[in-house]
Structure 1
Amino acid sequence: MRTSRIRLVAAAGAVLATLALTACEDGTGTQDEGASQPAGAAESVETTPSGGSQGDKGQSTGGGTAGQDAAGDKSGNKTGDKGTSAGTGGNSGGSENSRVICNGTNTTVDARPVSRPVNHMLITVKNSGSGTCDLPYYPVLRFDEMQWVPQPVEASKPQAVVTLAPGETAYAGVLLSAADGSGDGGTTAHKLTVAFQGTTPNSDGGPSAIPALPADGVYYDSSMAVTYWQQSMDDALTY
């Protein structure tokens, strides 16, 4: 009888073990898996900081955009400052460019030999324009088709550029030939071109003038020289 009980208990244990094994295999063990959810929940909690990190990155990106906008503003401000500076420079340049040079378009020019001093000619320039003009340096003369330029009389250089208001006149004296006959290549010219210089030496001051010469022409030789523009006739004929 005792043996039968032992066998019955053993058989019952085997049956219980078999039932437990069957329950695990047929999915009834999902309760146990459900009990492990806290571990899954922990993973979910860990994901949240990760998402928060992504959000921080998004904010950081947004901050970067704001920085770029600020940089854009700085760039715009700098551009604007440069534009203002350029505008000032433009006004300054316009002021310099507004200076008018006396030339063949705003003056009338006369050229005629004088009796004293001998072998001299006087060039007279009158401002026929409506504004003030400057006469820098000295006239550049060319008789007929000559291939050389008469040299200036350096002693005649004025302290300041001659300036003509409308209606005013200025003068330049020309030594045509050496009184002692020491000059070379003497010839008689029938045409004279008077060129004007700009604000730098030997620069172009604008259209030339072609004043009429006496019918019998003007004699000159290699000693010809010209004074700087003068405010008075006497100063022009001193040299």
Structure 2
Amino acid sequence: MSAFTARPRTRLFAAATVALAALSLTACNDKMGVQDEGVANPTSSTVGTPAPSGTKTGGAGQTSGSTGSTGSTGSTGSTSGGSSTGNSSGTGGSTGSGGTKTSGGSGSGTSASGSVPCNGANTKVTAQPVSRPINHMLLTVTNTGSKTCDLYYYPAVNFDDAQSVPPVMKDSQPQAVTTLTPGQSGYAGVALAGGDNGTGTNGRTAKSLSVYFFDRDNNSISPAATPALPTKGVYVDDSLKVTYWLSDAQDALTY
């Protein structure tokens, strides 16, 4: 072989040797921990928690709505724009999970009995002085209307257009409101004067009487009743007091 032919082959062998050395160096660097920054670590990714059974989930800020059983006209919660609304029940339906019920419909402000406050228009009122106890008078209220009426609190009596009404005897308060069905009567006692001989102050003879009623909220209501007094009138003084409305006449005269 000539010297001219050996030199090119020597150069080619040298180039191949350099290339193999470069490949060996790259493999060595990889084993020392050099990594590609563009590859994400699969163990560091966030794994979403599965939603509980029976709920709907959506975008950020969403509140899951219950999809429990609904009534016949109810509808389940809907998801829209990243938010969710809960079940909406129809009349009489029940919603929610775990057996929770939500009643449908709306109530009425009228009592089940359909009663109304007693007043001077739906009642007849009489005022009768009694011999015992002395200086007392019995008020009798009879329901003349077609509906049950309630006698709230006590009668606000006014003799001869007095500037004020007498106080109530607090110990006469009943446990429940006196209620009158059509034709039924209620009662209140009136202590006209103090002492057996009417020794209270500012005694006078009254010739007329107005009886005012109250509603449930203790507001005076119209019209008033104007029962007749005896022709000679009745003697009253500043010790004048009344009882609450009661269902028994004898109870009304014990105070």
Question: Does the pair score TM above 0.5?
Answer: yes
Report the Cα offset of residue 146 of structure 1. 0.7
Give the count of matched residue pairs.
Answer: 171
Contact persistence 1:142–1:192 (CA under 8 A): yes
Contact persistence 1:102–1:205 (CA under 8 A): no
* More helix by percentage: 1
Is residue 2:121 matched to residue 1:105? yes
Change in CA separation of 1:176 and 1:118 when aligned onto 2, cut-off 3 Å: same
Change in CA separation of 1:94 and 1:171 when aligned onto 2, cut-off 3 Å: closer
**Which one has the largest radius of gyration?**
1
Q: Distance in 1 between matches of 2:147 and 2:208?
A: 29
Q: Distance in 1 between matches of 2:249 and 2:113?
A: 30
Contact persistence 2:166–2:240 (CA under 8 A): yes
Residues 138-157 of structure 1 aligned to structure 2 (within 5 Å): 138-157=154-173
Identity %: 52
Q: Secondary structure at the match of 1:146?
A: coil
Q: Secondary structure at the match of 1:167?
A: coil
Paired letter, 1:199: R
Is residue 2:218 matched to residue 1:212? no
Q: Secondary structure at the match of 2:171?
A: helix
Q: Distance in 1 between matches of 2:246 and 2:113?
A: 24
Report the Cα offset of residue 143 of structure 1. 0.4
Q: Distance in 2 between matches of 1:203 and 1:121?
A: 25
Residues 1-239 of structure 1 aligned to structure 2 (within 5 Å): 88-89=105-106, 91-95=107-111, 98-178=114-194, 179-200=196-217, 202-239=218-255
Q: Distance in 2 between matches of 1:138 and 1:145?
A: 18
Change in CA separation of 1:145 and 1:205 when aligned onto 2, cut-off 3 Å: closer
Q: Distance in 2 between matches of 1:199 and 1:228?
A: 14
Q: What 5-or-longer segments of structure 2 have no aligned partner?
A: 1-79, 92-101
Moved more, 166-175 or 96-105: 96-105
Contact persistence 1:132–1:166 (CA under 8 A): yes
Paired letter, 1:139: P
Q: TM-score, normalised by structure 2?
A: 0.58
Contact persistence 1:101–1:206 (CA under 8 A): no
Post-superposition CA distance 1:29-66 (Å, at most 9, x none): xxxxxxxxxxxxxxxxxxxxxxxxxxxxxxxxxxxxxx
Q: Distance in 1 between matches of 2:250 and 2:110?
A: 37
Q: What 5-or-longer segments of structure 1 have no aligned partner?
A: 1-69
